[in-house]
Amino acid sequence: MVGKGYERLGECNKCGNCCVAEDCDKFNAVTRMCMDYEHRPSKCSNCPAAPPIMVEGCSFKFKELETGRILGVKQI
Protein backbone atom coordinates (compact mmCIF):
# COMPACT_ATOMS: atom_id res chain seq x y z
CA MET A 1 0.00 0.00 0.00
CA VAL A 2 1.32 3.44 -0.91
CA GLY A 3 1.87 5.94 1.89
CA LYS A 4 -1.04 8.17 2.81
CA GLY A 5 -1.01 11.47 0.97
CA TYR A 6 1.09 10.25 -1.97
CA GLU A 7 0.53 8.67 -5.36
CA ARG A 8 3.32 6.44 -6.62
CA LEU A 9 4.25 7.12 -10.25
CA GLY A 10 6.21 5.00 -12.71
CA GLU A 11 6.93 1.33 -13.17
CA CYS A 12 9.47 -0.98 -11.61
CA ASN A 13 12.73 -1.09 -13.57
CA LYS A 14 13.82 -4.21 -11.65
CA CYS A 15 16.88 -2.46 -10.19
CA GLY A 16 16.89 -4.79 -7.16
CA ASN A 17 17.18 -2.02 -4.57
CA CYS A 18 13.87 -2.91 -2.89
CA CYS A 19 14.98 -6.54 -2.68
CA VAL A 20 18.11 -5.51 -0.81
CA ALA A 21 16.24 -3.04 1.40
CA GLU A 22 13.58 -5.61 2.27
CA ASP A 23 16.10 -8.48 2.66
CA CYS A 24 14.10 -10.62 0.24
CA ASP A 25 15.06 -14.28 -0.12
CA LYS A 26 14.14 -14.26 -3.84
CA PHE A 27 16.90 -11.75 -4.66
CA ASN A 28 19.87 -13.09 -6.63
CA ALA A 29 22.95 -11.09 -5.60
CA VAL A 30 24.92 -12.18 -8.68
CA THR A 31 22.39 -11.01 -11.29
CA ARG A 32 20.96 -8.31 -8.97
CA MET A 33 17.47 -9.41 -10.03
CA CYS A 34 14.50 -11.18 -8.50
CA MET A 35 14.49 -14.91 -9.19
CA ASP A 36 10.64 -14.95 -9.36
CA TYR A 37 9.64 -11.37 -10.25
CA GLU A 38 6.12 -12.27 -11.44
CA HIS A 39 5.32 -13.93 -8.07
CA ARG A 40 7.29 -11.67 -5.71
CA PRO A 41 5.92 -11.03 -2.22
CA SER A 42 3.72 -7.97 -1.63
CA LYS A 43 6.42 -6.44 0.60
CA CYS A 44 8.55 -6.22 -2.55
CA SER A 45 5.88 -5.13 -5.03
CA ASN A 46 4.72 -2.39 -2.65
CA CYS A 47 8.25 -1.05 -2.13
CA PRO A 48 8.89 1.84 -2.03
CA ALA A 49 5.62 2.73 -0.32
CA ALA A 50 6.31 6.39 0.40
CA PRO A 51 9.00 9.01 -0.06
CA PRO A 52 11.78 9.63 0.39
CA ILE A 53 13.28 7.08 -1.99
CA MET A 54 16.71 6.48 -0.50
CA VAL A 55 18.35 4.39 -3.22
CA GLU A 56 19.82 5.43 -6.55
CA GLY A 57 18.50 3.53 -9.54
CA CYS A 58 14.87 3.37 -8.41
CA SER A 59 12.54 4.43 -11.23
CA PHE A 60 9.59 5.37 -9.01
CA LYS A 61 8.60 8.90 -8.10
CA PHE A 62 5.87 10.15 -5.79
CA LYS A 63 3.32 12.91 -6.24
CA GLU A 64 2.16 14.75 -3.13
CA LEU A 65 -1.63 14.70 -3.41
CA GLU A 66 -2.07 18.00 -1.56
CA THR A 67 0.47 20.07 -3.51
CA GLY A 68 1.07 18.09 -6.71
CA ARG A 69 4.83 18.27 -6.08
CA ILE A 70 6.84 15.39 -7.61
CA LEU A 71 9.41 13.72 -5.35
CA GLY A 72 12.16 11.39 -6.56
CA VAL A 73 15.36 9.99 -5.11
CA LYS A 74 16.53 11.91 -2.06
CA GLN A 75 19.97 13.38 -2.61
CA ILE A 76 22.12 12.83 0.48
* pLDDT per position as a tens digit, 18-38: 887 777 888 888 888 888 888
More confident site: 76 or 57: 57
Q: Which helix (H) or strand (E) is 38 found in, with range? A: none
Contacts of 24 by beta carbon, 8 Å cutoff, 6+ apart? 18, 34, 40, 41, 43, 44
pTM of the model: 0.75
